[in-house]
A and B are shown apart, each in its own frame.
Chain A
Amino acid sequence: MAGGVAQALPTSPRMAAPKPESVSDRMNAMNRRQSLALLARCSAALGALAAGWLKPLVALAATPWNKNAFEAKTMAEALKALGATAPAESRDISITAPDIAENGAMVQIQVVSRIPNTQSIAILAEKNPFPLAAIFNILPGGEPQVLLRLKMGQTSDLRVVVRADNRHFTAAREVKITIGGCG
């Protein structure tokens, strides 16, 4: 290079007097190169896989949103969309909720199902514009009970539908609302 200052190049161990490579040295070097190349390819693949993997994993864990049920405008339609057209009344579902709620924007409800093999608990507010409020799928390890705060537009029944052993059971409790909470 014109005008450059000559600098002593550092001698790498390799450039120093080469010692005879053993067979294992050569194998190690080759394996390291191959491993690095493989690792690079794997990382890229894993990265792509992970990005694609994670979404389906969360998607798999979460049941798709039941649009038909959630957009049903009447209790009957919601129950039909849930596949629960004729649920049996059950005294093994307890619903704790206020008799009278001052603020319809936050009505606290606690539901406990004592029905064996409870698979899911669905909560509906009969006179809300869209009655279905929530569905909880209970997987092994989860107890069949839930506490939640709901909006209720007006005095109406809070209905719970439990799916257990692939059959449906139901119970309801009226909550009187003094100030509606749906906005």
Chain B
Amino acid sequence: MTEAMKIRATLQGDTADLRVLIKHPMETGTRKTATGIAPAHFIQSLVVQHNGKTVFDAQWSQSVSRDPVLGLRVRGAKTGDRISITWVDNRGERRTDEAVVMSGAV
């Protein structure tokens, strides 16, 4: 059972500023534990979609930090637009979370 990503999508002009907090161990496969070596377990691919259209398509290695923090920007966004992020890890586990672009004015 995977944990939800936290996605914050804030409109700045016509660009959505995305800040994403992902929960994932991102194990390198070299970490020694009391019982042996923790096997490699990390996100290998990540796709970001804006209103259903892919805007970023990323490949990651085990060098990305545990519980990755990710910042991206999407052009041509409006309040209410849908941002969807999907990751797939080396074990084939996957997760998709969505967020709505919110106005940046406070």
User: Which residue numbers of A lie inside 8 Å of B, CB to CB?
Assistant: 58, 61-63, 65-66, 70, 105-108, 110, 125, 128-130, 132-143, 145-152, 181-183
Residues of B at the A interface (CB closer than 8 Å) are: 15, 26, 28, 30-32, 38, 44-50, 53-66, 68-76, 86, 88, 94
Inter-subunit contact A141/B74 (CB<8 Å): yes
| Contact A136/B56 with A65-B44, A147-B69 known, Cβ cut-off 8 Å | yes
Residues from chain A with Cβ under 8 Å of B66 in the complex: 105-106
Q: Which of A63, A66, A141, A152 has a CB less than 8 Å from the CB of B50?
A: A141
Q: CA of A130 to CA of B30 in the docked complex: distance in angstroms?
A: 12
With A143-B75, A151-B28 as given contacts, are A61 and B57 in contact (CB-CB < 8 Å)?
Answer: yes
In the A-B complex, the 5 residue pairs with the smallest Cβ-Cβ separation, listed nearest first, are A147-B71, A183-B31, A133-B63, A142-B55, A149-B65
Closest CB-CB distance, A130 to chain B, in whole Å? 6
Closest beta carbon of chain A to B62's beta carbon, Å: 7
Contacts of A136 in B (CB 8 A): 56-58
User: Which A residues lie within 8 Å of B26 (CB)?
Assistant: 151
Chain A residues positioned under 8 Å from B46 (CB to CB): 62
Could you jot down 17 A-B contacts, CB within 8 Å? A65-B45, A105-B65, A106-B69, A110-B71, A130-B62, A133-B64, A135-B58, A135-B59, A139-B54, A142-B48, A142-B73, A142-B74, A145-B73, A148-B68, A150-B64, A151-B26, A181-B65
Contact A58 B47 (CB under 8 A): yes
Q: Which residues of A contact B55 (CB under 8 A)?
A: 138-142
Residues of chain A within 8 A of B60, CB atoms compared: 133-134
A149 to B21, CA, bound (A): 11
B80 smallest CB distance to A (angstroms): 16
Whether the Cβ atoms of A149 and B56 lie closer than 8 Å is no
Closest to B65 in A: A149
A101 to B74, CA, bound (A): 29
Closest to B51 in A: A141
Check B53–A148 contact: CB distance below 8 A: no
